[in-house]
Amino acid sequence: MFNVITIEREYGAGGSVIADQLARHFGWELLDQELTSRIAVEANVSHSVVKSCDECVDRGLRRLAKVFWRGSYERMLPMQDERVFNADCMVDLATKIIGEAGEEGRCVIVGRGAPYILRNRKDTFHVFLYAPRDFKIQRLSHRMGEKEATELVDTIDRERAEFIKRYFNKDWPCRSLYHMMINTSFGLDLAVESILSAMKTHEMATVAVR
C-alpha cells in the first residue's frame, strides 16, 4: 500500500495545488513549504550569516541553492539564511529529512529531489506534472504580470534540471522514475482523480498478484 506520494512538477503546472488536494484527500501531511521550514530549522540559519558569507559564495551554487529552497510560490519565498549557498550541505539535510518523512509515511512531498531520494521505497508513488508553455504562462499571469510569468517559466525549470543533474546525476525529468506523468492542462481536478485512480489500480493489481 502506498504511504507516500512525491510530486515533481514543471513551474506553473499546478503541482502545489494538486499536492494539497491529495494531502487533504488522504488526511496526510503536505511537505511543501513545511519541508523548507524543517530544513531551515535543522540548519539553524540566521540573517547574520547571510551578510557574512554573501560575497564569498560561488554564484552557481547560490543559484542552485535558491532553486532547491523554492516551494509552491518560488518567487515569494524569503531566503532564511545565505548559508544555504552551501548547496552540498543543504542537499545532505534534505536527504535526511525526506528520508525520515518517507519512513514515517502518510505524507505528500513536493519537489526537492524527493523522487530521487525515495526512489527505492516500494510504498512511494511518484508523479511528474507538466503542461504546455502557454498554459503555464496564462495560469501564472493571474497572480503576476505576463512578462514575469514568461521569464519564470523559461528559467526555473532549466535551473531545476541543472540542480537534479548536479546532485543526482539524472536528466530532469527522469521518466523511468515515475509511476505517472500527467499533462495538467486538461484540468487540475482531473489530474488529482487520475492519480487517485492509478494508485488504487496499482494497489489492487499488487494484491491480486500476491
At residue 35, the pLDDT reads 79
The per-residue pLDDT for range 11-24, each reduced to its tens digit, is 999 999 999 999 99
Compute the distance between CA of residue 166 and CA of residue 89 in angstroms, rounded to an integer: 14
Which amino acid would we find at residue 88? D
CB–CB of 130/9 below 8 Å? yes
Q: Which domain holds residue 163?
A: 4-209
Compute the distance between CA of residue 193 and CA of residue 210 in angstroms, rounded to an integer: 26
CATH number of the domain residue 122 falls in:
3.40.50.300
At residue 94, the pLDDT reads 83
At residue 168, the pLDDT reads 87
CA 3 to chain centre: 17
Q: How many domains does the chain have?
A: 1
Phi first, then psi: what are they for 180, rounded to 5°?
-145, 145
Residue from 10, 5, 43 nearest 27 by CA: 5
At residue 8, the pLDDT reads 94
The per-residue pLDDT for range 173-203, each reduced to its tens digit, is 999 999 999 999 999 999 999 999 999 998 7
Compute the distance between CA of residue 11 and CA of residue 6 in angstroms, rounded to an integer: 15
Q: What is the pLDDT along the chain (210 residues), one digit of tens a residue?
A: 899 999 999 999 999 999 999 999 999 999 988 877 777 777 776 323 322 322 233 455 555 555 655 554 444 444 444 444 456 777 787 889 999 999 999 999 998 889 999 999 999 999 999 999 999 999 999 888 899 999 999 888 888 888 888 888 888 999 999 999 999 999 999 999 999 999 999 878 776 555
Compute the distance between CA of residue 2 and CA of residue 204 in angstroms, rounded to an integer: 11
Q: Tell me how many helices (H) and strands (E) the chain has.
A: 9, 5
Query: Cis before residue 173, ω within 30 degrees of 0?
Result: yes
